Amino acid sequence: VLAEHNAIVKRLPSVETLGSVSAICSDKTGTLTLNKMTAVEFTVPGQNRYRVTGEGYGTQGELQLTRGIPPGQPWQKGGAAYGTEGQIKSAGGAKIDLEQVMLPMALCADARLDGETLIGDPTEGALIVLAEKGGISVDDARELYPRVAEVPFDSDYKFMATFHNMTNENGQPVVRCFVKGAPDVLIARGSYFWVPGAEAVAVTDENHQLALAENARMAEAGERVMVVARRDFDPQTFDPKANLIELVTNLTLIAMVGIVDPPRPEARDAIAKCHSAGIQVRMITGDHAVTAAAIGHQLGIEGRALTGAEFAAIPDEQLKQQLGQIGVVARVAPEDKIRLVRLLQEQQNIVAMTGDGVNDAPALKKADIGVAMGITGTEVSKEAAVMILTDDNFATIVKAVEYGRAIYDNLSKYIRFQMTALVAFILAYLGAAMFYIAGGQPFGALVVLWINFFIQVPIAIALGLSQPLPGLMEKKPRPLSQPILSQAQWMRMSFIGFLIALGTLVLEAAYEPIDPALAATMGFVIFSLFNVAMGISSLSETDTVFQRSILTDRQQLMYYGVSILLILLSTELRIFQRILGLVSLSGGQWLLCIGLAFALILVYEVMKFFLRQGRGEDQSGAAVVGQEPALV
């Protein structure tokens, strides 16, 4: 069933654990969002700001100047209202050449487009689409300026750099390094800011703050910010085999690109369902903390945002006290994920952690439920996880948790039914022996087997396959240490078992002087009908059976109908009468047995009413306050 809902569970016992999940730590990209990165704006800090139209990986769209200053002007704070809402090629009547802005996006990337299908990293996809919208043919640019060396992206240093043979603005041959990466990293490595139509300006305290302010503005809008930069080297002295990371310094910062990844439409509702179910949701992301906080707010994730560095700096005991107020952890290291899982587990949480990379494997292994991505996940992460999402969707995790709760709920129903029936059998035999009713044996051996295999089995199947009742995801998670049956439940089951045994023995004792075979039949029928009534009432421990969701469930009615039909055939068909030692009943006798079975349902209803009052529940069964009464 879970596989049909895009969740593959590798180990069956984990399904029970799913129902107890109390904390979910989820990746953002692709799980909470669509993983369809789109550049929506880019800015040359202190100079021009452009809006980008179009969505997804289609190259149809425009670049529109929304704020800027005339080309060639020196760095200015804020700039003038210049060429607003105009096409970039005709802003204020002057042509603005953006080739130098677009080339890093085209060349410092490995992704490529096949029509509107992206092959490669989604963030790179947003950048190469932006380059195409800006008039750069990515394929032609890569052919014209082949890569001679590169620094692959790594989460440790948070940038990628490529090196290309080309000529500078003066026509001199250079090896140009193009870099893309996190704003805080590249701004710190920058020495100059590029100015359209003028000489680059050196970094000063003022323009450095302007760049940081622009980054903060974009991040607060929920945009993932990427910075593109460059640096030129002399071809005669450049060594492609050198430690290239050390060369990615003294950069000329070119532009900041704002990228959005739209939240999945179903993610917000799934998170809201988690909150109502008492499940904490935290977002783990590589984005800037301000960006992550804005996206978390859009998704309905509560709590403040911390950076990975801030998270790592807080001592364990202090962090445990603050975990309830933390909703987002940004720029987090793999070891921080493991620490987060450990601290949550030390607070008695059952933790689900999502991940897709090789570095995520230890955290997935540490979590109670490691969840790997089926589409974007690595084989290492899938091996470490116990559940794989074939659609990479957060809502699928919530469905799996709901299914886990339903499985446990149905198991609990089945056990309550079987244990109550067992108590009733034991008390019936003890009572018959003590008061010498029916010769000390209320049922023959074949009758007991018939009840066990043909009357109770359809009821047990009905309980095991029953649909989740309303309110299942409005209850708080069940601790794994909690026993399946509490002391109060054992007392209630014993009480019901006593009533069933009492009703059975009273009828047998009443009819035994008339006809022992009739007494045995009455005992069989009433005990079997009590089982049917008990099964129906066991569908919910607190909800009334007189509700639409139960009375209109055809599958349930079919299974109970099978049990009732077998009870009827057992007493009316001669072949069964001979095998089981039973006789036919009159209409009045049937009505008596049915009436007593219905009375048992009413006893259940009274108990459920007081349980709802004691727990502070409404008809949906959603727990509010209070403790479970021991016995009503």
Instruction: Give per-residue pLDDT as tens, 464-522.
Output: 988 887 788 988 998 888 888 999 999 999 999 999 999 999 999 999 999 999 999 99
**CATH code for residues 38-259:** 3.40.1110.10
Q: Is the pLDDT of residue 137 over 60?
A: yes
Q: Are 376 and 366 in contact (CB under 8 A)?
A: no
DSSP state of 435: T
Least confident range from 301-305, 342-346, 551-555: namely: 551-555
Least confident range from 64-73, 486-495, 605-614: namely: 64-73
Of 358, 354, 399, nearest to 373 (Cα)? 354
Residue 616 has a pLDDT of 58
How much is the average pLDDT of 350-365?
94
Of 25, 2, 19, 9, nearest to 480 (Cα)? 19
Q: Is the pLDDT of residue 526 over 80?
A: yes
3-state DSSP helix/strand/coil % of the chain, to nearest 5: 50, 20, 35
Of 597, 345, 344, 314, nearest to 455 (Cα)? 597
Round to whole Å and give the CA distance between 131 and 107: 10
Three-class DSSP category at 225: strand
Instruction: Write out pLDDT tens, residues 416-425.
Output: 999 999 999 9
Q: Is the pLDDT of residue 162 over 80?
A: yes
Three-class DSSP category at 513: coil
- Beta-bridge partners for 151: 161
Of 251, 226, 254, 231, nearest to 100 (Cα)? 254
Pairing of strands 112-114, 117-119: antiparallel
Q: Are 182 and 159 in contact (CB under 8 A)?
A: yes
From residue 567, give the alpha-carbon distance in Å to each of 93, 450, 543: 92, 10, 27
Dihedral sign, Cα of residue 31, residue 32, residue 37, residue 42: negative
Q: Is the pLDDT of residue 628 over 60?
A: no
Q: Are 138 and 108 in contact (CB under 8 A)?
A: no
Instruction: Write out pLDDT tens, residues 222-250.
Output: 999 999 999 999 999 999 999 999 999 99
Report residue 40: phi and psi, to 5°: -110, -15
How much is the average pLDDT of 141-162?
94
Domain boundaries in the chain? 3-33+264-392, 38-259, 410-615
What is the Cα 153 distance to its own chain's centre? Answer: 28
- Beta-bridge partners for 38: 260
Active site residues: 27
Exposure string of 208-222, with b = 16+ CB inside 10 Å and e = fewer, is bebbeebbebbbeeb
DSSP state of 77: S
Report residue 52: phi and psi, to 5°: -115, 125
Q: Which residue has the tokens 């009821």?
A: 459
Dihedral sign, Cα of residue 498, residue 504, residue 509, residue 510: positive
Q: For 3-33+264-392, which CATH superfamily applies?
A: HAD superfamily/HAD-like (3.40.50.1000)
Q: Which residues contact 154 (CB under 8 A, 6 or more apart)?
A: none
Round to whole Å and give the CA distance between 587 and 573: 16
- Beta-bridge partners for 404: none
Residue-averaged pLDDT of the chain:
88
Q: Is the pLDDT of residue 139 over 60?
A: yes
Q: How many percent of the chain have pLDDT more than 70?
A: 91
Residue 550 has a pLDDT of 66
Quick one: pLDDT band at residue 291, thresholds 50, 70, 90? confident
Round to whole Å and give the CA distance between 220 and 216: 6
Q: Is the pLDDT of residue 93 over 80?
A: no
**The domain made up of 410-615 is a member of CATH 1.20.1110.10:** yes
Round to whole Å and give the CA distance between 477 and 350: 9
Residue 528 has a pLDDT of 98
| Identical fold, 3-33+264-392 and 38-259 | no
Q: Is the pLDDT of residue 409 over 50?
A: yes
